């Protein structure tokens, strides 16, 4: 059980670090992110709401209350990374590695979290 707890917290910490880094970049380097969104043909007005959503999702994953919101937070982050993978792939961008790693961290955190923090 101790090894599962360690794996859960490492995966959750890496997931949190990835998304908090992303959110701070969205908030403090907005012009660059908006340019990237334009390259991917996404609406630029989504940049700030996405940053806020990422921060809230990590907060709900760490607090784990209420459970249904935590489940939606995991789902939202999964969809965010899945769509990021598709966008990077479509443009032939080598930046696909980070969202793929994020999906791994998310899945490990989610499934180990069900055992460690029911």
Q: Across residues 52-76, what is the average pLDDT?
A: 97
Residue 93 confidence class, pLDDT cut points 50, 70, 90: confident
Domain ranges of the chain: 2-116
d(CA 10, CA 108): 9
Residue 43 token pair: 């609406």
- Placement of tokens 């990374």 in the chain: 81
Instruction: Tell me the whole-structure pTM to 2 decimals.
Output: 0.93
Give the confidence band of 108 by pLDDT, cuts at 50, 70, 90.
very high
**Stretch 33-60: mean pLDDT:** 95
């Amino acid at each position: 059980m101790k090894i599962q707890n360690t794996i859960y917290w490492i995966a959750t910490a890496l997931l949190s670090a990835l998304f908090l880094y992303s959110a701070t970049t969205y908030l403090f380097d907005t012009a660059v992110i908006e340019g990237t969104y334009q390259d991917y043909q996404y609406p630029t007005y989504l940049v700030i709401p996405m940053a806020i959503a990422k921060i809230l999702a990590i907060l709900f994953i760490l607090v784990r209350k209420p459970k249904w919101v935590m489940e939606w937070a995991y789902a939202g982050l999964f969809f965010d990374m899945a769509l990021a993978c598709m966008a990077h792939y479509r443009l032939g961008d080598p930046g696909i590695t980070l969202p793929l790693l994020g999906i791994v961290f998310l899945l490990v955190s989610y499934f180990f979290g069900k055992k460690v923090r029911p």
